[in-house]
């Protein structure tokens, strides 16, 4: 605003006030009063929760690790890299067990600020496993958001595939294709990715790393391709923001987000760059790789700060937090995960395979 504009508008205000003083002042008072009430309300709902707690879903114990701990009846696990990645972004983690009834997930989700669905390897057709728990969580989160709450979900790799398969309606034929990708890849962003929720505020240096460097870690034998979204009428709800190409040049969806709900998925593994070290996997550990991968949990945790759910007390938080469990060093047992947390929801998971 130039000085001329400034003087001009001051002059107008002076004239209005002197000409219609009382009316203007009353109107201004009325406007201020109403506006004040609205502002108070908006500010309250916009306050960010700086102590977010995020649930991480466990999954069926891997056959490999079961063979390494034959006497301990662990039935589920969480790879520590996911927990560390979330913790590094400024949140705490609560493990979510599989094999529970819907009430368990409903009660827990009233207390936490978002759910993370990890990658891994398990079938979606086992009863009371990762997929059934994921379905409860998805349906409950949808209902919460529909009722005006804000409840984010982030799925990585298998967790991302599960989101899309649940959105497709699970069924006997799973809505994903076989593919093969065990490479570090760049992202090929879609044309309008900069207006997406996930990438609209991403710093340009991180975008450039993701676009041009082989920094996203892929380790999957299934892909979701554009055709999977089209065939199940999902394109109105889900927005693709990037693709990558598998080892045989099949173009798969690398990142996606729901248009209305705060639900996000990536096919690659942001957590491995900083937190997984198996030499033969050739994970990218460079300064740039770590920096760019760091972005995804920074983004997700910021989404979770928009949720105001909380535990009843610090004592109740303490009973749920993952600090009640000690991770085991599994890297020296040959696992692709350097450390894992193990859980025992005994007798509830039925292995059909």
Ligand X SMILES: *[C@@H]1O[C@H](CO)[C@@H](O)[C@H](O)[C@H]1NC(C)=O
In degrees, to the nearest 5, what angle opens at C-alpha 127 toward C-alphas 122 and 128? 90
Specify the stretch interacting with ligand X by CB under 6 A; choose among 11-19, 57-65, 66-74, 131-139: 66-74
- Region 228-287 residues binding ligand X, contact defined as CB under 6 A: 232-233, 243, 245
Tokens of 237: 């709800």
What's the gap between Cα 296 and its chain centre?
8
Binding status of residue 190 toward ligand X by CB under 6 A: yes
Q: Annotated catalytic residue: which of 157, 179, 223, 304?
A: 157
CA distances from 206 to 18, 31, 269, 289 (A): 55, 44, 16, 9
Stretch of 29-37, 70-78, 99-107, 325-333 contacting ligand X, by CB under 6 A? 70-78
Beta bridge partners of 257: 239, 264
With a CB cutoff of 8 Å and minimum separation 6, the contacts of 46 are none
Give the tokens for residue 16: 């209005």
Structure tokens at 181: 């990708």
Determine the interface stretch with ligand X among 54-62, 69-77, 310-318, 324-332 (rule: CB under 6 A).
69-77
Residue closer to ligand X (CB basis): 62 or 81: 62
Query: What token pair was written down for 178?
Result: 């076989």
Residue 296 exposed, middle or buried by CB count within 10 Å (0-12, 13-18, 19+): buried
Residue 73 binding ligand X, by CB under 6 A: yes
By C-beta, is 61 or 113 nearer to ligand X? 61
**H or E stretch covering 284:** none
Active-site residue (options: 220, 243, 258, 269): 269
157 belongs to the catalytic site:
yes
Hey, is 206 helix, strand or coil? Answer: helix
Among 11, 45, 125, 208, which residue interacts with ligand X (rule: CB under 6 A)?
A: 125
The β-bridge partners of 189 are 242
Whether 223 sits among the annotated catalytic residues: the reply is no
- Residue 123 sits in the site that holds ligand X (CB under 6 A): yes
Span interacting with ligand X, options 5-13, 71-79, 196-204, 221-229, rule CB under 6 A: 71-79
Asked whether position 71 contacts ligand X by CB under 6 A, the answer is yes
> Kind and range of the H or E element at 123?
none
Residue closer to ligand X by CB (options 116, 199) is 199
Helix (H), strand (E), coil (C) string for 165-187: HHHHCCCCCCCCEEEEECCEECC
Rounded to a whole number of angstroms, the minimum distance from the CB of residue 20 to ligand X is: 58
89/349 with CB nearer ligand X: 349
Residue 352 in the binding site for ligand X (CB under 6 A): yes
Q: How far apart are CA 183 and CA 248, in angstroms?
A: 11
Site string for ligand X, 282-321 (x = CB under 6 A): ----------------------------------------
Q: List active site positions.
A: 157, 269
Interacting residues with ligand X (CB under 6 A) = 71-73, 123, 125, 188, 190, 232-233, 243, 245, 352-353
């Amino acid at each position: 605003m130039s000085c001329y504009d400034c003087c001009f508008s001051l002059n107008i205000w002076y004239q209005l006030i002197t000409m219609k003083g009382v009316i203007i002042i009353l109107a201004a008072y009325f406007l201020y009063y109403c506006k004040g009430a609205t502002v108070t309300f908006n500010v309250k709902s916009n306050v960010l929760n700086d102590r977010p707690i995020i649930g991480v879903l466990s999954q069926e114990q891997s056959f490999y690790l079961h063979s390494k701990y034959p006497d301990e009846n662990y039935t589920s696990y969480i790879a520590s890299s996911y927990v560390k990645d979330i913790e590094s972004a400024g949140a705490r983690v609560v493990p979510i067990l599989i094999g529970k009834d819907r009430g368990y997930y409903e009660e827990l989700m009233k207390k936490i600020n978002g759910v993370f669905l990890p990658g891994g390897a398990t079938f979606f057709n086992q009863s009371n496993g990762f997929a059934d728990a994921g379905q409860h969580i998805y349906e409950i989160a949808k209902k919460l958001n529909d009722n005006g709450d804000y409840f984010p979900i982030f799925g990585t790799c298998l967790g991302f595939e599960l989101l899309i398969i649940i959105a497709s309606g699970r069924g006997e034929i799973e809505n994903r294709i076989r593919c093969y990708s065990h490479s570090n890849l760049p992202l090929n962003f879609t044309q309008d990715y900069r207006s997406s929720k996930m990438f609209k505020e991403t710093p340009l240096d991180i975008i450039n790393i993701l676009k041009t460097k082989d920094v996203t870690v892929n380790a999957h034998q299934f892909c979701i391709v554009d055709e999977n979204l089209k065939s199940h009428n999902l394109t109105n709800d889900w927005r693709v923001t990037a693709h990558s190409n598998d080892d045989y040049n099949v173009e798969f969806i690398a990142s996606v987000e729901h248009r209305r709900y705060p639900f996000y998925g990536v096919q690659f593994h942001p957590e491995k760059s900083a937190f997984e070290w198996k030499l033969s996997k050739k994970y990218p550990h460079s300064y740039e790789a770590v920096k760019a991968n760091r972005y995804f949990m920074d983004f997700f945790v910021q989404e979770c700060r928009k949720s105001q759910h909380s535990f009843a007390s610090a004592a109740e938080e303490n009973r749920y937090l993952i600090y009640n469990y000690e991770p085991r060093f599994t890297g020296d047992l040959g696992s692709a995960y350097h450390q894992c947390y193990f859980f025992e929801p005994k007798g509830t998971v039925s292995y059909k395979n």
